[in-house]
Structure formats: C-alpha cells, structure tokens
Amino acid sequence: MDTENLHYFEKAPIYKAIAHFAVPMMLGMSMSVIYSILNAYFLGTLHNTEMLTALALTLPLFAAFMALGNLVGIGAGTFISRLLGEKRYDVVKQVSSFSFFTSLGLGILLMIAGLPLIDQIVHGLGATASSFAFTKDYVTMMLIGSPFVVLFFSLENIVRAEGAAMTSMIGMILSVVVNIILDALVIFVFHGDVMEVAAATVISNAAASLFYAIYIGRTSKFLSLSLKCFKASKEIISNIFKIGTPVFIMSMFLGAMGLIFNHYLIEYGNQAVAGYGISSRLLQFPEVILMGLCEGVVPLIAFSFTANKLRMKKTISFTIKMVAALAAVFGVIVYLTSDHLIGFFTNDPQLIELGSYILHVTFLSLFISGTTTLFTGIFQATGQAKAAFVMAIVQGATLIPVLYIANRMNGFHGVVWSLVIADAVAFLVGAVMLYVLRNKLQPNVEQLAH
C-alpha cells in the first residue's frame, strides 16, 4: 500500500478520508447509472416498447452476474482491508490471487450452464410472446460474456479494498464510456438492436477487467494475480465466503425479487413493466450515490476495525449524516421534476403517469434504504457474518410476502408500495442488530485515551 493510501486509512481527518474512499465510488457508480439511463434512451429512440420491456426483464439476470462477482469480491475485499490493518501483507497477495481465479472460474461455469437452458431462462424472466425474441437475444449475449462481467465486479472490489479508490473509479468510468460509445455506434450508425447493445455491455466489462488486471500486475504493491500466490487455505476460504455468501444470497434474492416483481407487474400490461423499468433506472441514480457513499467507506471501516475502533465509530456517524442530507436533496428534486424525467424516455402519456407515480412512491424510502446499505456494510467490514446473513435474508425475503399481500389488498398500487414497506422492515432489523452488536464495535480504553 502506498503512503498516500495509508495516510487516508490512518491519519487523515474523517471527512477527508470518507471523501477519498467514497467520492470516487459515488462518481463511478453514478456513471454506471447514467449509462443505464442512456441505454434505455438509445433503445427508446427505436420506438419499440417490446425492446424496453426486454431490457427491464433482464435486470434480474444482471443481478445474478453481479451476485457471483460480489460473492468473491466483497468477501475478499473486506478481508483484504482488515489484513492491511493488521499489516499481514503476504496474505493479501494470496487472497487477491484466489479471488481472481475463482471469479473467472465462476463466470465460465455460469456461461456453460446457462447457454443450453436459454429458452427456459427467458421464459423464467417473464417474457411474453411479443418480447421473447428480444429478451432471448439479450440473454444469449450476456451469458456468452458472463466471465468478464463477473470478473469486473470482483476485481473492482479488491482494488478498492487496497485503498486505490481513484483506480477503482477509473475502471468503472472506463466501462461506462466504452459502453456508451459502442451503444451510440450500434444504434445510430449500424442500426442494431438489443443483441448488439448487450454485446457492447460485455465488451465494456472486458475492457474494465483488463484495466484492473494491468493495475494489479504492474502498479499494486500488495495485490497479486499470479498463480504462484494462489492459496486456498481454510482461513482465506472461510473469511471470504462467510461475508461473500450473505452478499451472494442477498443479490440473488434481489434478482429473484425483480423477477417476481416483474411477474406481478406484467398482470397490469407491458406499459406497467416499461414504466417501472424507466422509473427504476432513474431511481438508480440517487440510490447509487448513497450506495457509493456507504460502500465506499467499507474499506475504511474494515481497516479501522482492526487498527482504530474510535476512528471507525466517527466514520459511521459522519456517513449517516451524509446519507440523510443527500436523501433530502434528491427527494426534493424528484418531486419537482418527475414528469419531465420520465418524459425524457417516452412521449406516451400513460407511461409518463405510471413512471412518475412509481418514482414518487419509491423515493419515500431513499434514506432508509441508504442507511440499510450502511448497516450491511458495517457488518461485512467487521466480519459479523451472522448479522450480514440475517440482513441478506431480511432484505431478500421480506418483499415476497409483502408483495403478495399488498397486491391482493390494493392491486397495482399495492405492488408499488410493497417496495417501501419491505425497505422499512430491513432498516428496522439492521438498526436492532447494530444496537445488539454495539459492544463488539466499541473502541477500547487505549484508543479512547488517544
């Protein structure tokens, strides 16, 4: 680890340290959402609702790719940051090498397993007869490129865990820029459609993965992708997967929730699905700003947990205040401009009305969903596997019964409001567990003396 990164981990004022770790993450993730929005916009210029529907239906599949990448990446990343706090640099190399080869292998297995089942996957995603062909094209291309997508999520996490927040951001932005350029060429120059858009996504993830690999191989002092450093010891496997497994379960639950949510929405027509797809992409922007803040500080929390718990406590307190302030600002903006935001994608009055309504409702939970992300990050960073597992189950499983009951009681409106109710339940569970674990997270007497 270079001197600058060590300074931000150990000595920089809290607000500067948080800015160092979180701002690049916020910017990088924001660029990803801007791409997601532009992706829908590019397809929207073809004036084909079935293509937009296909794009919305494939969100759970992308969540599955992300889940596999985070299974290894987040588990390894939090372990790496704790190891750096303990100055066990040799083990860091072993963990990073293990992460690289395991992520690549998981992506290859996903591709081999998924391609023969392509039709079943597309049906399972909820594609109707009119959207089946477009959905199949997108899914096929994404499965072919799944090793690069999984690897991208994994490498981004371990690079950030070392404290190289700017490098992590550059990789994310590189992926987005390549994607936007290729999308524009595909739609406006080569007159392609869904399959070519999916190919652009795969190529951009491959480019970013290559960038991270070059950084680790040539610049990083403690990370390694060398097979010589690969070691699958009990300590490495247990520390990665005790945190990575809850993350994987939560990501898969989120993907399943998206799938179930789409099945409920499809009862109200393709317009409802497309309206949700557009509004959810707009909602992603403030969500990932808060997520970038909360996930960006995880390496700092993990390092401080083993090196200085008082600094960790101050980091958490400051981050919660920032979440509240940002949620308030975004809420005001959305309530004032929702119709114009939806109108950017479509001129269909019914679609604008539906999308605007969904935005108004889901923005009510912005603060609690952001804080819940921080709670989960704290449990991951400090190695609280049981708490992380409970959060994964609660965040994943709560929506299913809430969605069923709300739909039965209030139809379409109940389906939309179920998201807010499920977020509130997860927030309360996380707050209670953080209170229960408060003694484990308290600074010791020596740290208080300093």
Three-state SS across 315-326? HHHHHHHHHHHH
- pLDDT tens digit sequence for 396-405: 778 888 888 8
Three-state SS annotation for 363-415: HHHHHHHHHHHHHHHHHHHCCCHHHHHHHHHHHHHCHHHHHHHHHHHHHHHHH
Helices assigned H by DSSP within 132-193 = 132-144, 146-161, 165-184
Q: How far apart are CA 337 and CA 145, in angstroms?
A: 37
What is the pLDDT, as a whole number, of residue 449? 42
Burial class (CB in 10 A: 0-12, 13-18, 19+), 245: middle
- pLDDT tens digit sequence for 307-357: 888 888 899 999 999 999 998 898 888 888 877 778 777 777 777 777 788
- pLDDT tens digit sequence for 62-90: 778 888 888 899 889 889 988 988 888 88
What is the pLDDT, as a whole number, of residue 206? 94
Domain boundaries, position 317: 3-441
Q: How far apart are CA 159 and CA 163, in angstroms?
A: 7
The verdict on residue 280 lying in a domain is: yes
The verdict on residue 447 lying in a domain is: no
The verdict on residue 91 lying in a domain is: yes
**Token reading at 419:** 């998201």
H or E segment at 421? Answer: helix 399-436
For the full predicted model, state whether its pTM sits above 0.95: no
pLDDT over 80 (residue 45): no
Residue with tokens 């807010």: 420
The verdict on residue 450 lying in a domain is: no
The verdict on residue 212 lying in a domain is: yes
The verdict on residue 183 lying in a domain is: yes
For residue 12, give the DSSP letter.
Answer: S
Measured in residues, the chain has a length of 450
The verdict on residue 446 lying in a domain is: no
Q: How far apart are CA 282 and CA 354, in angstroms?
A: 13
Q: How far apart are CA 257 and CA 418, in angstroms?
A: 11
Total domain count, the chain: 1
| Band of pLDDT at residue 158, cut at 50, 70 and 90 | very high
Q: Which of 174, 176, 184, 185 is nearest to 210 (CA)?
A: 174
Q: How far apart are CA 337 and CA 118, in angstroms?
A: 40
CB of 18 within 8 A of CB of 318?
yes
| Band of pLDDT at residue 95, cut at 50, 70 and 90 | very high
pLDDT over 50 (residue 274): yes
Higher pLDDT residue, 267 or 305?
305
The verdict on residue 369 lying in a domain is: yes
> What average pLDDT does this structure show over 166-176?
90
